Amino acid sequence: MTGKSSMHDTLLVTGGAGFIGSNFVLSCRKSTPFSVVNLDLLTYAGNPANFSELDGDGRYAFVRGDICDAGLVAGLLDEHRPRAVVHFAAESHVDRSIVSPEAFIRTNVYGTFTLLEQARLYWMGLSEADRAAFRFLHVSTDEVYGTLDADEPAFCETTPYAPNSPYAASKAGSDHLARAYFHTYKMPVLTTNCSNNYGPFQFPEKLIPLMILNALEGKPLPVYGDGKNVRDWLFVEDHCAAIFTVLGKGKPGETYNIGGNSERANMDVVTTICDLVDELRPPCAGSERRQLITYVKDRPGHDRRYAIDATKIMRELGWKPAEKFESGLRKTVEWYLGHPKWVESVRTGAYREWIARNYAERLKI
């Protein structure tokens, strides 16, 4: 023993006020014995209102702060003695990384380094038993693998990295650091690479919530390029279940690909959303939402197809996605239609400025 107190049943979650982090924190407090300390800078993508149902929960603490702040991270680790760090915090939107890449390098690369390094210093001071039980789970993306042609096999854990956007490159850099901390220091690091998520609390700059809200409000539905780019969609609750599985059963030093086995072309996703919104909020005759679909100028370097081969996590750890894309999309549309106050609260002036900036040029085709 080192004289320090031992680890507690606490998770230090970073970026827990964002889309996936919020779903993870809520499900953690509902369905596990873990306490949660949520460290989040509350950038435009973070929303503390996601946690109103945890008001008065003595096993949940929110800390507004930056993962690049080594002193803050060290203090939180020392005070709360977590048994795991679950690292979601990131700049996460490809379009923003094309317009302003610097924040992506800072948070995704330097921020991940800062967390890894402070976690290593904390971990080295633990007892041998606690050192063996500690986990650092780094949440990453399938975008690090680059793009697939229509007939290529899905990404597996051994697919070479070939990131194409500044976002993907910054996540690839963070994955390499996570890998190095296991190989060099033997810190028990796990990495998950996940496909596109959808579900409640997703910031409406991403495809699915943007299309739901624009369809509801009768605004154009901007489809990039020919609309045939393919993503492999995963319901966010399935992603959270996979993260719990990897935390509990994953082998330190390993990476696990997580996917929904639901490849869909963007145009198919958008038309399905139109039909769901028409069904749930019937339009006047002749104003069906599909008419709002507008082809716009493509994203530079737009990856054609992502697809995940999740055989490893399914075979070795026993996880599989529970939600079918069509039922998950219906739940998601219903959630956005049922939470107008949440939607209003995230569409601040900064959001409107981003939408105007991102789509102004694209619409000129």
94 binding partner (options ligand NAD, ligand TYD, none; Cβ < 5 to 8 Å by kind)? ligand TYD
Could you write out the DSSP letters of every residue in 153-205?
Answer: PPB-TTSPP---SHHHHHHHHHHHHHHHHHHHH---EEEEEE--EESTT--TT
210 scored as a contact of ligand TYD (CB under 6 A): yes
296-355 positions binding ligand TYD, by CB under 6 A: 299
Binding mask 258-277 for ligand TYD (x = CB under 6 A): --------x-----------
Nearer to ligand NAD, 231 or 289 (CB): 231
222 scored as a contact of ligand TYD (CB under 6 A): yes
69-98 positions binding ligand TYD, by CB under 6 A: 94
> Which amino acid type is present at position 127?
S
List 196, 255, 261, 271, residue binding ligand TYD (CB under 6 A):
196
CA 361 to each of CA 135, 151, 296: distance values in angstroms, whole numbers, following the listed order: 45, 32, 9
Q: Is 96 exposed, middle or buried (0-12, 13-18, 19+ CB in 10 A)?
A: buried
Could you write out the DSSP letters of every residue in 34-82?
Answer: -EEEEEE---TT--GGGGGGGTT-TTEEEEE--TT-HHHHHHHHHHH--
List 13, 36, 89, 221, residue binding ligand NAD (CB under 6 A):
89
Considering only CA atoms, which of 215, 188, 198, 179 is closest in space to residue 331?
198
310 scored as a contact of ligand NAD (CB under 6 A): no
221 torsion bin: left (phi>0), alpha (psi -120 to 50), beta (else): beta
Nearest distance in Å: CB 152, ligand TYD: 17
232 scored as a contact of ligand NAD (CB under 6 A): no
Cβ neighbours of residue 67 under 8 Å, at least 6 residues apart? Answer: 14, 15, 39, 41, 73, 87, 89, 107, 111, 112, 114, 115
206 scored as a contact of ligand TYD (CB under 6 A): yes
Nearest distance in Å: CB 265, ligand NAD: 17
Nearer to ligand NAD, 68 or 148 (CB): 68
170-229 positions binding ligand NAD, by CB under 6 A: 171, 194, 196-197, 203
Helix axes 325-338, 207-217, angle to 10 degrees: 50
Nearest distance in Å: CB 7, ligand NAD: 22
Candidate ranges 39-47, 281-289, 343-351, 353-361; the one touching ligand NAD (CB under 6 A): 39-47
Catalytic residues: 142-143, 167
Candidate ranges 62-70, 82-90, 223-231, 341-349; the one touching ligand TYD (CB under 6 A): 223-231
106-135 positions binding ligand NAD, by CB under 6 A: 107, 111
Q: How far is CA 91 from the centre of its chain?
A: 10
Candidate ranges 43-51, 72-80, 113-121, 215-223; the one touching ligand NAD (CB under 6 A): 43-51
Residues making contact with ligand TYD (CB under 6 A)? 94, 196, 206-207, 210, 222-224, 229, 231, 266, 299
